């Protein structure tokens, strides 16, 4: 042994100084959480009937913490569902050639479906599943949030699973890991970092859908679920500006708290799963994680985890090991492929025919043409959002990203703004529009931008801060004038990130159009011409064929733009502007 080098073992917090104090802190927080849950349980179980959900919400400020708690439960329920869905769907798609050929394109389409357009369908479905109980509405709300989170997370895990390092995959097979062990020791850890990042981003985006789904008009009924989203809706309807501001403040505090208590510790912890050799991860410290690690809870959790994984190892052993030759090595079974394809194609064709039949029997096929025309108006708004967002946020983001001090201040703020649900601000904008008699046809652009523009800013900041220092130094030493510097260095360097950001922003804007093209404050309702308003009106009226037409046409717009605009731009960015 000639090469024993002292390694970074001090990096692991083996010292448990202040361990008792940490235990105490955690105990207090746990007790508070438990008390809150019990309180909520009592309240939720009492008026669980549908009748209570059809009234209006009491906007007494003292009830707001309780409402927030209930909203949080919905958010975390959706997150849990998304995680389970991700595990199953991503694994199935990555491990089976046939399933992958179907599941991944399907996911691509699902990702482009305007979630809010389907609220009417899903609410009807869930209410039918739990007749006479509020559970149906709860499930519909959770489902709406779920559909805004799951696809991203699934893609993240799937991408990491098919890009696994070859030596790790071969090790797993030669060591004869069982299927479960392979998932638990290779697939999941390998995808942990993109998964947590995506979960955090999707969770932030989920607030928007929570707000939209807690108070909805479907099939001529208005339903209200007690929560912070419906609180905003009620306060807006009752013209209570003060209480609206209060809700916004509570929301900001909640977002900040979640970040400090849940996401920041989680992301820091996930650094354990990075693949590279980089010695220490930069600027990732979390006070809460340090506290947890210092407490005796950490040791307890580790021991518990070990035992549990032992039990799982035994339980899942009958599912066998993945030691056989990968499917690609075996001759393809043509017959099996054909049977599979037929099994999928037949119901699809049947469904499509049934759908066309429904539309024809209802408003007629000409309705598609009308929806397409309305879509052009909404498309105009989406383009305006992207153009305005780009003109404003690209310069701002680039300046913030290139300035370290500015970035440390601005980054957390932008992160918070990105997860803040934009529909909390809708009443204020609506009020302005009503006061000044401005048309929602133009105001809709602002409403749609409120939620989506941050993605552009976010990505541009990240790219600008990752710009290699040598390029910037070269530009400085060449004495490039400002305009040339932007044209030859800064703009090309942030172009790939801009494409990602603008793509996400456009998707968000389409979705937002459903809640942004029909808005009300008090008794005044404003309506814009557009596909979003078309879907929203059809949803409220329970006009199922029109909902179908609207959602389908919106899907076509989103998918079409992805293929025609964003994908070529992404390819261009990869080819010409990636900084390798």
Partner 1 sequence: MTNQALIEVDDVTKAFPAQEGGTFTVLDHVDLRLEDGEILAILGKSGSGKSTLLRCIAGLIAPSEGTIRYRGAELAGANPGVGMVFQTFGLMPWLDVRENVELGLRARGVARAERTARAEELIDVIGLSGFENAYPRELSGGMRQRVGFARALVTQPDALLMDEPFSALDVLTAENLRTEIVRLWSEPDFPTKSICIVTHNIEEAVLLADRVVVLGSNPGRVRHETRIDLARPRERRSEAFGAYVDELYAVLTGQPVDPAAPATSPASNPLPQASVGGMAGLVSLVAGGPNGGDLADLAASLKFEVDDLLPLVDGATMLGLLHVDAGQAQVTDDGLAWVRSDIDEGKRLFGRLAAQRAPLVHAICAALDSSDEGTLRLDFFRDLLRRSFTREALEEQLATAIDWGRHGELFDLEPDGEVLSRG
Separation between Cα atoms, residue 284 and residue 317, nearest integer Å: 38
- Asked whether position 357 contacts partner 1 by CB under 8 A, the answer is no
Closest distance to partner 1 from the beta carbon of 272 (Å): 6
- Asked whether position 337 contacts partner 1 by CB under 8 A, the answer is no
Separation between Cα atoms, residue 131 and residue 217, nearest integer Å: 18
Structure token digits, residue 94: 């990555």
Name beta bridge partners: 520. 525
Closest distance to partner 1 from the beta carbon of 373 (Å): 39
Whether the Cβ atoms of residue 384 and residue 445 lie closer than 8 Å to each other: yes
Stretch that binds partner 1, among 29-37, 114-122, 269-277, 555-563 (CB under 8 A): 269-277
Separation between Cα atoms, residue 461 and residue 402, nearest integer Å: 8
Which of 37, 88, 257, 330 lies at the binding interface for partner 1 (CB under 8 A)?
330
The string of DSSP letters for 265-318 reads HHHHHHGGG--S--SS-TT---HHHHHHHHSHHHHHHHHHHHHHHHHHHHHHGG
Identity of the residue, 305 or 351, whose beta carbon is nearer to partner 1 in the bound complex: 305
- Asked whether position 569 contacts partner 1 by CB under 8 A, the answer is no
Identity of the residue, 9 or 436, whose beta carbon is nearer to partner 1 in the bound complex: 9
Identity of the residue, 185 or 520, whose beta carbon is nearer to partner 1 in the bound complex: 185
- Asked whether position 8 contacts partner 1 by CB under 8 A, the answer is yes
Whether the Cβ atoms of residue 381 and residue 509 lie closer than 8 Å to each other: yes
Q: Which backbone phi and psi does 133 adopt, to 5 degrees?
A: -125, 155
For the chain, state the CA radius of gyration. 26
Stretch that binds partner 1, among 84-92, 273-281, 367-375, 540-548 (CB under 8 A): 273-281
Stretch that binds partner 1, among 8-16, 85-93, 282-290, 388-396 (CB under 8 A): 8-16
Q: Which helix (H) or strand (E) holds 525?
A: strand 524-527
Which of 323, 360, 408, 525 lies at the binding interface for partner 1 (CB under 8 A)?
323
Identity of the residue, 282 or 523, whose beta carbon is nearer to partner 1 in the bound complex: 282
Identity of the residue, 9 or 482, whose beta carbon is nearer to partner 1 in the bound complex: 9
Site for partner 1 in 183-222 (CB under 8 A): 185-186, 189, 192
Closest distance to partner 1 from the beta carbon of 568 (Å): 14
Separation between Cα atoms, residue 561 and residue 417, nearest integer Å: 27
- Asked whether position 568 contacts partner 1 by CB under 8 A, the answer is no
Separation between Cα atoms, residue 405 and residue 447, nearest integer Å: 31
Q: Which helix (H) or strand (E) holds 193?
A: helix 188-214
- Asked whether position 85 contacts partner 1 by CB under 8 A, the answer is no
Stretch that binds partner 1, among 252-260, 324-332, 508-516, 536-544 (CB under 8 A): 324-332
Structure token digits, residue 475: 């530009």
- Asked whether position 356 contacts partner 1 by CB under 8 A, the answer is no
- Asked whether position 318 contacts partner 1 by CB under 8 A, the answer is no
Which of 141, 178, 213, 430 lies at the binding interface for partner 1 (CB under 8 A)?
178
Where are any strands of DSSP class E within 503-542?
518-521, 524-527
Phi/psi zone of residue 132: left (φ > 0), alpha (ψ -120 to 50 degrees), beta? left
- Asked whether position 130 contacts partner 1 by CB under 8 A, the answer is no
Identity of the residue, 6 or 481, whose beta carbon is nearer to partner 1 in the bound complex: 6
- Asked whether position 580 contacts partner 1 by CB under 8 A, the answer is no
Closest distance to partner 1 from the beta carbon of 480 (Å): 20
Which of 34, 80, 175, 257 lies at the binding interface for partner 1 (CB under 8 A)?
175
Structure token digits, residue 381: 């708004």
CB atoms within 10 A of CB 141: 31
Separation between Cα atoms, residue 183 and residue 302, nearest integer Å: 19
**Cβ-proximal residues to 17 (8 Å cutoff; 6+ apart), any chain:** 294
**Cβ-proximal residues to 263 (8 Å cutoff; 6+ apart), any chain:** 196, 200, 203
Closest distance to partner 1 from the beta carbon of 302 (Å): 12
- Asked whether position 11 contacts partner 1 by CB under 8 A, the answer is yes
Q: Which backbone phi and psi does 332 adopt, to 5 degrees?
A: -65, 140
Closest distance to partner 1 from the beta carbon of 279 (Å): 7
Which of 162, 253, 274, 568 lies at the binding interface for partner 1 (CB under 8 A)?
274
- Asked whether position 51 contacts partner 1 by CB under 8 A, the answer is no
Which of 324, 347, 364, 366 lies at the binding interface for partner 1 (CB under 8 A)?
324
Site for partner 1 in 149-168 (CB under 8 A): 165, 167-168
Whether the Cβ atoms of residue 206 and residue 75 lie closer than 8 Å to each other: yes
The site for partner 1 (CB under 8 A) is made up of: 1-5, 7-9, 11-12, 165, 167-168, 170-171, 173-178, 181, 185-186, 189, 192, 272-279, 310, 313-314, 317, 321, 323-326, 329-330, 575
């Amino acid at each position: 042994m000639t090469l024993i080098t002292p390694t970074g073992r001090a990096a692991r917090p083996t010292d448990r100084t202040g361990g008792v104090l940490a235990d105490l802190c955690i105990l207090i927080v746990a007790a508070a959480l438990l008390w809150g849950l019990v309180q909520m349980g009592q309240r939720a179980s009492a008026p669980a009937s549908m009748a209570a959900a059809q009234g209006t919400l009491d906007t007494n400020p003292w009830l707001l913490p309780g409402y927030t708690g209930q909203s949080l439960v919905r958010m975390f329920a959706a997150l849990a569902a998304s995680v389970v869905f991700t595990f199953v769907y991503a694994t199935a798609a990555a491990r089976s050639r046939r399933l992958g050929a179907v599941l991944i394109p399907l996911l691509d389409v699902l990702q482009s479906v305007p979630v809010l357009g389907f609220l009417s369908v899903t609410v009807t479905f869930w209410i039918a599943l739990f007749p006479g109980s509020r559970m149906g509405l709860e499930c519909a709300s959770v489902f709406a949030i779920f559909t805004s989170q799951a696809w991203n997370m699934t893609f993240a895990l799937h991408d990491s699973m098919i890009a696994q390092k070859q030596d790790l995959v071969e090790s797993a097979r030669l060591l004869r890991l069982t299927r479960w062990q392979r998932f638990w020791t290779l697939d999941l850890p390998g995808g942990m970092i993109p998964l947590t990042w995506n979960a955090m981003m999707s969770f932030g985006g989920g607030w928007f859908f929570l707000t939209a789904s807690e108070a909805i008009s479907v099939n001529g009924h208005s339903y209200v679920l007690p929560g912070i989203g419906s609180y905003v809706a009620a306060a807006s309807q009752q013209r209570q500006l003060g209480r609206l501001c209060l809700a916004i403040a509570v929301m900001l505090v909640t977002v900040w708290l979640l970040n400090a208590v849940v996401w920041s510790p989680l992301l820091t912890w996930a650094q354990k799963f990075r693949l590279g050799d980089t010695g220490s991860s930069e600027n990732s410290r979390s006070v809460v994680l340090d506290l947890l690690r210092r407490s005796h809870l950490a040791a307890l959790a580790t021991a518990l985890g070990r035992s549990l994984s032992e039990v799982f190892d035994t339980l899942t052993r009958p599912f066998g090991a993945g030691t056989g030759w990968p499917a690609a090595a075996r001759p393809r079974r043509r017959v099996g492929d054909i049977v599979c394809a037929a099994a999928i194609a037949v119901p699809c064709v049947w469904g499509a025919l049934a759908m066309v039949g429904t539309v024809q029997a209802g408003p007629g096929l000409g309705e598609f043409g009308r929806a397409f025309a309305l879509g052009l108006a909404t498309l105009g708004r989406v383009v305006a959002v992207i153009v305005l967002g780009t003109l404003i946020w690209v310069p701002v983001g680039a300046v913030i990203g290139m300035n370290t001090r500015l970035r440390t201040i601005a980054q957390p703020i932008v992160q918070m703004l990105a997860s803040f649900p934009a529909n909390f601000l809708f009443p204020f904008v609506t009020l302005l529009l009503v006061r000044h008699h401005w048309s929602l046809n133009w105001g809709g652009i602002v409403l749609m931008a409120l939620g989506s523009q941050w993605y552009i800013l976010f990505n541009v900041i990240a790219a600008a801060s990752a710009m290699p220092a040598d390029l910037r130094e070269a530009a400085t030493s060449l004495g490039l004038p400002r305009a040339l510097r932007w044209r030859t260095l800064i703009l090309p360097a942030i172009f790939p990130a801009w494409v990602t950001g603008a793509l996400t922003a456009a998707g968000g804007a389409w979705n937002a159009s459903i809640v942004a093209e029909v808005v009300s404050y008090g008794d005044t309702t404003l309506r814009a011409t557009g596909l979003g308003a078309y879907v929203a009106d059809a949803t409220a009226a329970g006009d199922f064929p029109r909902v179908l037409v609207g959602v389908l046409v919106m899907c076509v717009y989103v998918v079409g733009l992805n293929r025609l605009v964003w994908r070529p731009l992404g390819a261009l960015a990869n080819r010409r502007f990636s900084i390798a």
